[in-house]
Amino acid sequence: MSRLRSIFSILLVSILALCNFNGALGSEEAYVTLLYGDEFLLGVRVLGKSIRDTGSTKDMVALVSDGVSDYAKMLIQADGWIVKTISLLENPNHVRPKRFWGVYTKLKIFNMTTYKKVVYLDADTIVVKDIEDVFKCQKFCANLKHSERLNSGVLVVEPSEDLFKDMMTKVNTMYSYTGGDQGFLNSYFPDFPNARVFDPHASPEELKSRPTPEMERLSTLYNADVGLYMLANKWMVDEEELRVIHYTLGPLKPWDWWTHWLVKPVDVWQNIRINLEERLPGTGGGQHPNDELLVKFLILLPFVFLAFCYYRSYLQFADAAQSKVPVYLGALSVVVCFVAAIISIVLSFSSVPRQIMPWTGFLLVYEWTFTIFLVLFGSYLHLIHRWGKYVANQATSFSSLDYDSGKGHLRQTPSCDVSAWYYGLGMAFFALAVPLLALMVVGGFILASFMTFASEHLSISAFRRGYEDKDALRIGT
């Protein structure tokens, strides 16, 4: 069966590649992106969808490295990308961000001589308005950022074999201020800040009347930086005229579900993502078939665990010898509570798939944070309960227990502590209200205060019950 699947996959890839090849015959211009790991697969899919949504019929070429899976290649081919497998260019810079390990491969777009003009777009960009006019830009075009350095996320290039060979001779010696391709290109084109701004509305007569420039600068409309948006909480240009949005959030990308809650422009990316067609089974809306089963498992498991804990609850109502409680128990419990909360948040974020839908990610992290917190802090309370029993064993006198009037039997008490449910549900409510109501400071303070009081009360109650459990055992015997 597995052999038949492999043969079918190979045949499907071959057919798609042939269709794409036939569609590319005679084409002189193309959109290009780079994919050197499956992590950026969803970004490439959304980028392709955004290009096609503008009505463009030009070739879309994905330069794919050996590190990309066959499944990813097959999926983007089904989306309409022409897949060209390439070898990675090694980054010669030893001092660089880890995520820049393969970025020099981007220089290979200068060697795509089968096309007269290519527009390169990073996988973390989307096209929000027709950009066909940018193909009129001259030999090399890019956007100049606030630091007077070009950004390599959006490039217009006239491929040249001679230019590419010259670049390769200088890769190992030319300085890169970023440790990646962008720094190299700024060194290779040192006069770029002096280039004139590309005018897509220039008439043919105007273009003929002036010499053809070697370089032109793209306006911010063609490379709107989300990082700069975060500084002012607004676009520095007319939002209605934006052509390309670039999600320059460092290691945080728009396909990470939590970025939806941090940056408003991610909504635009998500709106394109949810309209992705199901090219292969389970891929509609940008979903991944492997994530679907994992998400269902992560949703159901905490409920099973909570049901089990409900029937195994050991907390009881009883009067206690308050004088036996250590004076430092409350402070110790507060520290343990907040450490457990931090660990729970970290573990839940690391357990939930990164590229699921934002609301699914939020609810899963919320659910698993409280489940893990229940396990950690519940285990701590269990230890405190046993500690109370141990102290009772060592005591020379024991507190008396209440009896039912005239019967000599212990009072029957419920097995589930109402206060534990009260404090648990209270923390859950405040934790949910804080992000939903955007009360990050006030709500966070209330949550922290509530957790402090609840952790102290619950730990003292657990100790007293452990102590009284021992008393009850002695009297019963």
Is 311 found in the same domain as 189? no
Is 262 found in the same domain as 183? yes
The residues that bridge with 29 in the sheet, in sequence order, are 117
Q: Is the pLDDT of residue 251 over 60?
A: yes
Is 98 found in the same domain as 38? yes
Spatial separation of the C-alpha atoms in residues 366 and 345, rounded to whole Å? 8
Q: What is the pLDDT of residue 11?
A: 46
29-80 pLDDT, tens per residue?
Answer: 999 999 988 989 999 999 999 999 999 999 999 999 888 999 999 999 999 9
Is 152 found in the same domain as 87? yes
Q: What is the pLDDT of residue 439?
A: 46
Residue 33 is part of which domain span? 2-286
Is 393 found in the same domain as 246? no
373-396 pLDDT, tens per residue?
Answer: 888 888 888 888 788 877 777 764
Q: Is the pLDDT of residue 464 over 60?
A: yes
Q: What is the pLDDT of residue 216?
A: 93
Average pLDDT over residues 445-466: 69
Q: Is the pLDDT of residue 123 over 80?
A: yes
At 41 the three-state DSSP class reads helix
pLDDT band (50, 70, 90) for residue 409 = very low
- Residue pair 410/472 in contact by the 8 Å Cβ criterion: yes
Q: What is the pLDDT of residue 64?
A: 94
Question: Cα angle vertex 164, ends 45, 115, to 5°?
Answer: 50
At 154 the three-state DSSP class reads strand
Spatial separation of the C-alpha atoms in residues 19 and 58, rounded to whole Å? 14
Is 352 found in the same domain as 247? no
Residue type, 453: F
At 52 the three-state DSSP class reads helix
pLDDT band (50, 70, 90) for residue 417 = low
Buried b (16+ CB within 10 A) or exposed e, 101-128: ebbbbbbbbbbbeebebbbbbbbbbbbb
Count up the domains in the chain and report the number: 2
Domain boundary among 257, 286, 315: 286
Is 439 found in the same domain as 306? yes
Is 110 found in the same domain as 237? yes
The CATH number linked to 220 is 3.90.550.10
pLDDT band (50, 70, 90) for residue 323 = low
Please tell me which residue, 331 or 216, carries the higher pLDDT value.
Answer: 216
Please tell me which residue, 407 or 183, carries the higher pLDDT value.
Answer: 183
Spatial separation of the C-alpha atoms in residues 362 and 436, rounded to whole Å? 11
Q: Is the pLDDT of residue 218 over 90?
A: yes
Please tell me which residue, 139 or 474, carries the higher pLDDT value.
Answer: 139
Q: What is the DSSP string of 170-202?
A: HTTTS--SSSSHHHHHHHHSTTGGGSPBP-TT-
**Residue 277 structure tokens:** 């067609």
Q: Is the pLDDT of residue 306 over 80?
A: no
- What's CA 462's distance to the chain center, in Å? 39
pLDDT band (50, 70, 90) for residue 308 = low
Q: Is the pLDDT of residue 164 over 90?
A: yes
Average pLDDT over residues 123-131: 95
Spatial separation of the C-alpha atoms in residues 318 and 310, rounded to whole Å? 19
Is 186 found in the same domain as 161? yes
- Predicted structure pTM score: 0.74
Average pLDDT over residues 187-196: 92
Spatial separation of the C-alpha atoms in residues 421 and 336, rounded to whole Å? 19
Domain boundary among 286, 319, 345: 286
Q: Residue 314 to residues 16, 99, 381, 413, 473: CA-CA distances in angstroms?
A: 62, 49, 10, 11, 15
pLDDT band (50, 70, 90) for residue 418 = low
Q: What is the pLDDT of residue 44?
A: 97
Domain boundary among 286, 317, 339: 286
Is 395 found in the same domain as 246? no
In this prediction, what percent of the chain has a pLDDT beyond 90? Answer: 31
Is 335 found in the same domain as 438? yes
Please tell me which residue, 180 or 109, carries the higher pLDDT value.
Answer: 109
Is 26 found in the same domain as 6? yes
Q: Which of 231-235, 269-273, 313-317, 325-329 has the lowest mean pLDDT?
A: 313-317
**Residue 465 structure tokens:** 């019950």
Spatial separation of the C-alpha atoms in residues 211 and 189, rounded to whole Å? 19
Q: What is the pLDDT of residue 112?
A: 96
